[in-house]
Structure 1
């Protein structure tokens, strides 16, 4: 019976996805118990300008890219931060370029207390015009590391080069340095339970106060501690606007072929009401990387209407496949969750996705 039901689902998917309404089987008592245990202690988390409720055991990681600058936060003490900066400065000063030009161009305090910055070539193989700007800050138990790559065609002077002559700006270092300094001045350390009430962007370990605007990308991952293959991923940005939606792309011949290749089964698809923005979801079970079976659930909102007031957001749940455990790649024969349990967890978490009050 189970094989027949799976075959029917795959057939529906291949022939005409839009006309097939496959529904997961009701949860068994054991599956209900597992879902209840996973969702008994939900915690509100802040990602970009959104909020979502995650199982309390989920560990968050992630990063942001704001105004072209990558931003990461890591929990550490002030002493460890100072040691890290000192070691980085020593390593950069000890590096010698392969040409006649410097490797380290600038180092010192940036803007505000507990800040530092470096401007250097990146590697000894980089061109003389290449510059890497690194900014460091410690605040409220978190170290921020900011990075951006740019150029300076004035030191050494290459402004007579025909290609360089076409550039409106021959030296981007001052402008990019000002951006990094401004971010360092504003960034705040933030614990997972800290949900700001003011306009701004949340990312793992940090918060940037700022009104709604463009040029901001945030990605966050939440991994369950006792089911390491179970992972939620959230991405959000106001800068992406697609021509098609998730359901339109999923109904393409290419995706149908990918599902056939993975012996995949459509679990559920459709429109989701998030009590505000409308979203679309696409839930699939099939072979995952490594050969074992698992799940790939996706939800998107504001794909074709993304902007500062309506930032694009995507939520994914993956289970099964392969993962790193203590430095070794482990291939799982099956996922930690059954399809029913994965759907139960997905429904509890995904329906809590909403804009953070005051975020804009």
Structure 2
């Protein structure tokens, strides 16, 4: 028996179900109608520097982490934004340290219109070297909030501390506050329908113009209006992801043990060609949180070659399980889509992944 055949036989024996023989039944007319309705009106959505076509009514959420700075955007009126700034400033100014040093170090206008920032210690118990930077900006209907934790061991002077002596940089605050203020100046609001035509990074509610660089990470998701248990997730990252690909992970003994515990049925896995890019995908049906059953699908691009010019992308889709909806946990014994419907939807959406023209 050759090595490939032996490996396949071994893999099949690990599962308690006949995962390698799992076959999807042809879609019924009703299932075909469900898929047709879900895919009838797809719209391009921008994630990182990629585009993905999603059902038009899918809601979007997510955030970015750019050079270590956490960035979120929230739809908000300008009046609500100004009220939030005023309330935040009042709260920070009312907070008193438990020592002789200030709690709030800076409160004032940042760079550009409708921007503001604060620098404070975080909590009253934090060391006076702590510099929590909060940057705010309102632009085109969205409020941006940027957060970064810096330090300054020179004000007050703590350079005699043995640990501080060993530090090459004893005050990174000037560089980091400059980074946050620079990002604030460049960020602009972006509704989900807007697809930029210039180089830059998309995330939910926002856009950062500029060429691709290191340390740019975006995490986002899309939930379907009439199927609360069905959602897509996407991650885009310019950092190295290591040498293990999605398919290597799928065949890892630890993963196989986990699949066995989940009573999993592997539907499909293998290489996929996408608009000039090579991708890998892995689809399985299994027990989900809450003991119901559902589907877990994954696709990845540039697993082992990620960088600014070839950012890593991970697209996922899940159905079923136990979810928190409007503050209450709801258990789905099975997904609101059949596995056949879920695979058909996945096959349409996942094949639209492509680099946005001019994005890099």
> What TM-score does the superposition give when structure 1 sets the normalisation length?
0.94
Q: Does the CA contact (< 8 Å) of 1:13 and 1:265 recur in 2?
A: no
Tell me how far apart the structure 1 counterparts of residues 191 and 330 of structure 2 sit (CA, whole Å).
31
Q: Does the CA contact (< 8 Å) of 2:298 and 2:314 recur in 1?
A: yes
For residue 20 of structure 1, report the CA deviation from its aligned partner. 4.0
For residue 241 of structure 1, report the CA deviation from its aligned partner. 2.7
What is residue 159 of structure 1 aligned with on the other side? 159
What is residue 6 of structure 1 aligned with on the other side? none
What is residue 100 of structure 1 aligned with on the other side? 100
For residue 229 of structure 1, report the CA deviation from its aligned partner. 0.8
What is residue 322 of structure 1 aligned with on the other side? 322
Question: Which portions of structure 1, spanning 4 or more consecutive aligned residues, are displaced by more than 6 angstroms?
Answer: none
Q: Does the CA contact (< 8 Å) of 2:22 and 2:265 recur in 1?
A: no
Aligned residue for 1:348, secondary structure, equals helix
**Where do residues 25-44 of structure 1 align in structure 2 (5 Å cutoff)?**
25-44=25-44
Aligned residue for 2:213, secondary structure, equals coil
- Could you report, residue by residue, the CA deviation over 1:195-243 in whole angstroms, capped at 9, with x for unpaired residues? 0010000000000001121110001100011111101000001112321
- Could you report, residue by residue, the CA deviation over 1:149-184 in whole angstroms, capped at 9, with x for unpaired residues? 111111221111111112122111111000011001
What is residue 4 of structure 1 aligned with on the other side? none
Tell me how far apart the structure 1 counterparts of residues 111 and 255 of structure 2 sit (CA, whole Å).
49
For residue 82 of structure 1, report the CA deviation from its aligned partner. 0.4
What is residue 248 of structure 1 aligned with on the other side? 248
What is residue 12 of structure 1 aligned with on the other side? 12
For residue 305 of structure 1, report the CA deviation from its aligned partner. 0.6
**Where do residues 25-174 of structure 1 align in structure 2 (5 Å cutoff)?**
25-174=25-174
Tell me how far apart the structure 1 counterparts of residues 22 and 332 of structure 2 sit (CA, whole Å).
26
- Could you report, residue by residue, the CA deviation over 1:63-122 in whole angstroms, capped at 9, with x for unpaired residues? 000011000000111111000000000000011112221110001000011000000011
- Could you report, residue by residue, the CA deviation over 1:264-310 in whole angstroms, capped at 9, with x for unpaired residues? 10011111100211000000101001110011100011011111111
For residue 11 of structure 1, report the CA deviation from its aligned partner. 7.4
Cα 1:24–1:140, aligned 2, differ >3 Å: closer, same or farther? same
5+ residue gaps, structure 1:
1-8
For residue 10 of structure 1, report the CA deviation from its aligned partner. 11
Q: Does the CA contact (< 8 Å) of 1:294 and 1:319 recur in 2?
A: yes
Tell me how far apart the structure 1 counterparts of residues 102 and 35 of structure 2 sit (CA, whole Å).
58
Aligned residue for 1:228, secondary structure, equals strand
What is residue 230 of structure 1 aligned with on the other side? 230
Aligned residue for 2:263, secondary structure, equals coil
Cα 1:153–1:40, aligned 2, differ >3 Å: closer, same or farther? same
Q: Does the CA contact (< 8 Å) of 2:44 and 2:53 recur in 1?
A: yes
Bigger shift: 67-76 or 321-330?
321-330
For residue 125 of structure 1, report the CA deviation from its aligned partner. 2.3
Tell me how far apart the structure 1 counterparts of residues 63 and 91 of structure 2 sit (CA, whole Å).
25
What is residue 346 of structure 2 aligned with on the other side? 346
What is residue 175 of structure 1 aligned with on the other side? 175
> What TM-score does the superposition give when structure 2 sets the normalisation length?
0.94
Aligned residue for 1:160, secondary structure, equals coil
**Where do residues 259-270 of structure 1 align in structure 2 (5 Å cutoff)?**
259-270=259-270
5+ residue gaps, structure 2:
1-8
Tell me how far apart the structure 2 counterparts of residues 250 and 14 of structure 1 sit (CA, whole Å).
13
Q: Does the CA contact (< 8 Å) of 2:268 and 2:283 recur in 1?
A: yes
Q: Does the CA contact (< 8 Å) of 1:10 and 1:265 recur in 2?
A: no
Tell me how far apart the structure 1 counterparts of residues 199 and 179 of structure 2 sit (CA, whole Å).
19
Aligned length: 351
Q: Does the CA contact (< 8 Å) of 1:49 and 1:201 recur in 2?
A: yes
What is residue 286 of structure 2 aligned with on the other side? 286
Q: Does the CA contact (< 8 Å) of 2:188 and 2:206 recur in 1?
A: yes
Aligned CA-pair RMSD? 1.8
